[in-house]
Amino acid sequence: MTYVSAKQTHSASRSCGRPCNRARLCFPQGIHVKKTIFAGVAAAALCGLLAYQNPAAPVERDLIAIERASMDGWLKGDSAPMLSAADPDITLFHIMTLQRADGVDAVKALYKSYDGRPLFDSYQIDNPKVQAGGDMAVLTYQLVAQNGPMTRRYNVTEVFRKKAGAWRIVHSHFSATAGSTQ
């Protein structure tokens, strides 16, 4: 049995014109190599993306959307979006209350004085973080509310529970940040 060197090609009976190793294995060349390498890199990248997907991302997206709808309501002086997301047993701590408000009726009574009166001209939800497990999730963020030349910052915590397929706010807490303009 004779072997061909890597620089030699197949014998006449197997002439493909490709360089071979001593075991007569052909090495692919040209565009085929580039396509194979590209397909391998693309497959590896796709597998990496699929493995990295954050399972909490849909929950985070849903909770932040609920919170944005509430804040958009307050831009118009409308508490309805927030109240529609509230669980009947909601509890609330707010800088405007002396004690906790228990139940949606108590929260409605508190918000009634704000209806029809926009609470701010614009807002930002900064640094939102969602921590979720099962049917419970916590959204924390810093609310930056602009009212004319005045900027106020609040630390916000919203606790959600999923009931009948929908996220509901079961506890809400707003507190002014240290150094917030009042």
DSSP assignment of 1-59:
-----TTS---GGG-----B-TT-PBPP-THHHHHHHHHHHHHHHHHHHHHH--TTHHH
For residue range 29-75, what is the model confidence (pLDDT) as tens digits? 666 666 767 666 666 666 655 545 565 689 999 999 999 999 999 99
Based on the domain organization, do 27 and 69 belong to the same domain?
A: no
Domain span at residue 28 reads 12-52
Whether residue 31 sits in one domain with residue 73: no
pTM of the model: 0.69
3, part of any domain: no
- The answer to whether residues 45 and 93 belong to one domain is no
Identify the bridge partners of residue 152 per DSSP, sorted by sequence position.
145
Say if residue 141's pLDDT is above 80.
yes
Work out how many domains the chain is built from and give that number. Answer: 2
Q: Which residues are paired to 146 by β-bridges? A: 122, 151
Structural domain includes residue 2: no
- Please indicate, yes or no, whether residues 137 and 150 belong to a single structural domain of this protein: yes
